[in-house]
Amino acid sequence: MNALAATNRNFRLASRLLGLDSKLEKSLLIPFREIKVECTIPKDDGSLATFVGFRIQHDNARGPMKGGIRYHPEVEPDEVNALAQLMTWKTAVANIPYGGAKGGIGCDPADLTVSELERLTRVFTQKIHDLIGVQTDVPAPDMGTGPQTMAWILDEYSKFHGHSPAVVTGKPVELGGSLGRDAATGRGVLFATEALLKEHGMSVSGQRFIIQGFGNVGSWAAQLISEKGGKVVAVSDITGAIKNTNGLDIPSLLKHSREHRGVKGFHGGDAIDPNSILVEDCDVLVPAALGGVINRENANEIKAKFIVEAANHPTDPEADEILKKKGVVILPDIFANSGGVTVSYFEWVQNIQGFMWDEEKVNNELKTYMTKGFKDVKEMCKTHNCDLRMGAFTLAVNRVARATVLRGWEA
Ligand SMILES: NC(=O)C1=CN([C@@H]2O[C@H](COP(=O)(O)OP(=O)(O)OC[C@H]3O[C@@H](n4cnc5c(N)ncnc54)[C@H](O)[C@@H]3O)[C@@H](O)[C@H]2O)C=CC1
Ligand SMILES: O=C(O)CCC(=O)C(=O)O
């Protein structure tokens, strides 16, 4: 099932549990605005290259639309649409005053030089600058983008609208980025996992983790989990997969990954087939790369007791059903990876106030939001007698529906 069909399905299931009116359901499902732009840049060798960029703004009932920008060869409209919708539900679960959006450019950042990436980012910003803004739509990093990408967007946007640090989050700290944003999604994954395991009378310490993806989210999650005594027994990225049943030495793996641009070749473990990583033995599986990786082909083989969705929509609905029958507990993306957008919110607040928080305050506030989010999701599970995914979806859809109805439809 494609990402959009899967996300729509989860939304509709939640809408039915809540008993939403079908007209309201339709208005919540259709995106506010879909932007598709052609981005042509001169490459370093003088030849031209054309890319397609998207920004899909899903909903703004609860506040400015918010979500990352992804640079990846598989970026296409349905996927971005699904990711934008997920942002609406994620900001609502976190209870931060935003709606949802997502953007992306269909490109392989590994094939472009830094100056080509800068030109591409600037052209994309020129095409969408009138449609984003501090109170309308605030981009952030996602796969294949990072603080430098946000710095280029900030600079290009500010040429049109004056200096506007709050137009993007996940910026370098020197440009108004928040302390703690870089680690925030991984730290949120840790807090979410702690809340889940505590509920089952367990803690991170001593559990065996497998992490797919070793970029921003996966590497921070691995680091923070291992600092808490969790044993990370296997990790994969686009270059390969490494396993060590005694636990990988994460600081050494981070160093190796920085020096060799990937985990491949790390000597502190055995190389394994990256396609098998999700079905290796562990207690907690943390997908932190692409969507749709847990599906009907591999769901039956999964050995983990818990899945913490650090990536967006890693589990498709067929796999959800199979795993539920097997008794696997899934902590859904719209809660589990909400630490990133929550600290993006703190960054935006700091920029608007012209004031900077210290990192301890950022991390403490994040823990408060994640703990409250878990409690709110669990309450919805009780109310609707449903699993954690539907608990999170009903919580979010109800909040957005309430805001939409309160605002009214008068033209
Ligand atoms: N960066 C953020 O703040 C947030 C990111 N996310 C989600 O987390 C996931 C990862 O994002 P980032 O870490 O930011 O991206 P990133 O670009 O920093 O890292 C992506 C990682 O995935 C790996 N990867 C790519 N294709 C793979 C494959 N086929 N098999 C195994 N590994 C593969 C890459 O090698 C890299 O290690 C995405 O689903 C993203 O939407 C969710 C919330 C916030
Ligand atoms: O920090 C943000 O605004 C959004 C991060 C993001 O794209 C996500 O949570 O999927």
Task: Give the whole-angstrom CA distance, residue 72 versus residue 168.
Answer: 20
Per-residue pLDDT reduced to its tens digit, 300-358: 999 999 999 999 999 999 999 999 999 999 999 999 999 999 999 999 999 999 999 99
Where does the pLDDT of residue 290 fall: very low under 50, low under 70, confident under 90, or very high at 90 and above? very high
Per-residue pLDDT reduced to its tens digit, 125-175: 999 999 999 999 999 999 999 999 999 999 999 999 999 999 999 999 999
Per-residue pLDDT reduced to its tens digit, 33-80: 999 999 999 999 999 999 999 999 999 999 999 999 999 999 999 999
Question: Hey, which residues does 37 pair with through a beta bridge?
Answer: 53
- The CATH architecture annotation of domain 30-164 reads 3-Layer(aba) Sandwich (3.40)
Where does the pLDDT of residue 411 fall: very low under 50, low under 70, confident under 90, or very high at 90 and above? confident
- Which residues neighbour 317 within 8 Å (Cβ) at sequence distance 6 or greater? 1, 6, 9, 10
Per-residue pLDDT reduced to its tens digit, 95-110: 999 999 999 999 999 9
Where does the pLDDT of residue 409 fall: very low under 50, low under 70, confident under 90, or very high at 90 and above? confident
- Give the pLDDT confidence score for residue 62 in this predicted structure: 98
- Give the pLDDT confidence score for residue 207 in this predicted structure: 98
CA distances from residue 19 to 23, 97, 259, 391 in whole angstroms, order as listed: 12, 24, 53, 14
Residue-averaged pLDDT of the chain? 97
Task: Give the whole-angstrom CA distance, residue 240 versus residue 242.
Answer: 7
Closest-CA residue, ligand 1 atom 36, reads 215
Q: How far is the CA of 73 from the centre of ligand 1 (A)?
A: 13
Q: How far is the CA of 271 from the centre of ligand 2 (A)?
A: 32
Contact 293, 311 (CB under 8 A): yes
Contact 26, 336 (CB under 8 A): no
* pLDDT over threshold 90, residue 1: no
Average pLDDT over residues 105-121: 98
Q: How far is the CA of 94 from the centre of ligand 2 (A)?
A: 12
Query: What residues does each domain of the chain span?
Result: 30-164, 183-333
Please tell me if the domain spanning 30-164 has the same topology as the one spanning 183-333: yes
- Give the pLDDT confidence score for residue 263 in this predicted structure: 98
CATH class of the region 183-333:
alpha beta
Per-residue pLDDT reduced to its tens digit, 387-407: 999 999 999 999 999 999 999
- Give the pLDDT confidence score for residue 410 in this predicted structure: 83
| CB-side neighbour CA atoms (13 Å) of 222 | 28
Ligand 1 is surrounded, with C-beta below 6 A, by: 141-144, 185, 212-218, 236-238, 274, 288-290, 310-312, 337, 340
Rg of the chain over CA atoms, in angstroms?
Answer: 20
Tracing tokens 């001169």 back to the chain, one arrives at 42
State the closest ligand 2 atom to the C-alpha of 83, by its place in the atom list counted from 1: 10
CA angle 135, 36, 309 (to 5 degrees): 70
Contact 11, 85 (CB under 8 A): yes
- Residue 40: Cβ within 10 Å count: 11
Pocket perturbation via mutation, ligand 1, pick of 142, 168, 189 by most ligand atoms within 8 A of CB: 142
Percentage of residues of the chain with pLDDT beyond 70: 100
Average pLDDT over residues 180-189: 98
Percentage of residues of the chain with pLDDT beyond 90: 99
* pLDDT over threshold 90, residue 112: yes
Task: Give the whole-angstrom CA distance, residue 74 versus residue 93.
Answer: 27
Annotated binding site for NAD(+): 185, 216
Q: Cα 164 to the chain's mean position, in Å?
A: 24
pTM: 0.98
Q: Is 361 a catalytic residue?
A: no
